[in-house]
């Protein structure tokens, strides 16, 4: 079923007497080029198992299903799941799960060797990315449509790092694939979007819990100098904090946003020496 047009999306929703729900971030994809760009970015193989977050009416789902082994589509809105039974009825390799994606991690989450994709609802972008990076069962790749500014923040480099950028880049290599104008979606969101690809990397051997304690301390007040943030939050005296930073070739008056992920790893590895 051809779903990639504003009029068809409206017709389907009318038929089921539903309206797009703002609280679930329902901005449906209605632009063919954006859909093609997204499918190309997913670089799909016949053997792929793909987990799609928020399939909505199934617009992306059906294109993916034609190219892969299985699609597991997780949709929170029961009504959308009902609609997909119709829109995806001629494909038999799609499993629709009516659930909140953030809850799949509560039970045993046992898919392996999979890709995660989706036109993400804006309100869960950061927690979704974080959960999939922190799980033992990391995906091979994640390809998402997200807000342009959030995509740029995730891919930032020093001196524009943020807690979000460090958190993602600690686990993975993120890359902006392309930009999508806001009129690619209906209802039209307020901001433009981007296609982002996030590829998990082999983990550096460092205590992740301690790493994030140090990073969060550093970013506690991003406008303040590292010396102050770290000594206050980690309860370390200023002189020791300065020595610790200098030993890692970091100036005590630098700000957290100027540090590379490797600087944070070095700080984590040497914190015990204080």
Contact positions vs ligand SAM (CB under 6 A): 24-29, 53-56, 59-60, 74-77, 80, 100-102, 119, 121, 124
CB atoms closer than 10 angstroms to residue 143: 23
* Residue number, 34 or 166, with CB nearest to ligand SAM: 34
* Residue number, 190 or 209, with CB nearest to ligand SAM: 190
* Residue number, 60 or 261, with CB nearest to ligand SAM: 60
Distance CA 226, CA 136 (A): 32
**By C-alpha distance, which of 117, 121, 131, 118 is closest to 49?**
117
**Cβ 2 to ligand SAM shortest distance, Å:** 13
**Cβ 51 to ligand SAM shortest distance, Å:** 11
* Residue number, 14 or 100, with CB nearest to ligand SAM: 100
**Cβ 253 to ligand SAM shortest distance, Å:** 42
Residue whose pair of structure tokens reads 């597991």 in the numeric block: 72
**Cβ 124 to ligand SAM shortest distance, Å:** 5
Reading the block at residue 3, the tokens are 């779903």
**Cβ 127 to ligand SAM shortest distance, Å:** 9
**Cβ 121 to ligand SAM shortest distance, Å:** 4
* Residue number, 64 or 165, with CB nearest to ligand SAM: 64
Residue nearest to ligand SAM (CB): 54
* Residue number, 54 or 174, with CB nearest to ligand SAM: 54
Name, in order, each residue with C-beta under 8 angstroms of 30's C-beta and a sequence gap of 6 or more: 4, 5, 6, 9, 184, 185, 186
């Amino acid at each position: 079923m051809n779903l990639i047009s504003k009029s068809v999306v409206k017709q389907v929703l009318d038929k089921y007497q539903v309206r797009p729900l703002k609280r679930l971030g329902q901005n449906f994809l209605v632009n063919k080029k954006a859909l093609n760009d997204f499918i190309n970015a997913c670089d799909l193989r016949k053997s792929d198992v793909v987990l799609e977050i928020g399939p909505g009416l199934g617009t992306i789902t059906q294109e993916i299903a034609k190219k892969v082994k299985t699609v597991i589509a997780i949709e929170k809105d029961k009504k959308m799941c009902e609609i997909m039974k119709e829109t995806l009825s001629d494909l038999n390799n799609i499993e629709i799960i009516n659930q909140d994606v953030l809850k799949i991690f509560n039970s045993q989450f046992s898919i392996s060797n999979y890709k995660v994709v989706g036109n993400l609802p804006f309100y869960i972008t950061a927690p979704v990315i974080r959960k999939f990076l922190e799980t033992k069962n990391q995906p091979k790749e994640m390809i998402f449509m997200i807000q342009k500014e959030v995509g740029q923040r995730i891919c930032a480099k020093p001196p524009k790092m943020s807690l979000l950028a460090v958190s993602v880049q600690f686990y993975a290599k993120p890359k902006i694939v392309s930009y999508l104008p806001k009129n690619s979606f209906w209802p039209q969101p307020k901001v433009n979007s981007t296609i982002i690809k996030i590829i998990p990397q082999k983990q550096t051997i460092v205590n992740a819990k301690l790493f994030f304690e140090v990073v969060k301390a550093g970013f506690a007040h991003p406008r303040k100098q590292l010396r102050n943030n770290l000594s206050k939050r980690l309860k370390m005296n200023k002189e020791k904090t300065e020595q610790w930073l200098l030993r890692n070739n970091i100036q005590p008056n630098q700000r957290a946003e100027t540090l590379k992920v490797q600087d944070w790893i070095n700080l984590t590895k040497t914190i015990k020496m204080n």
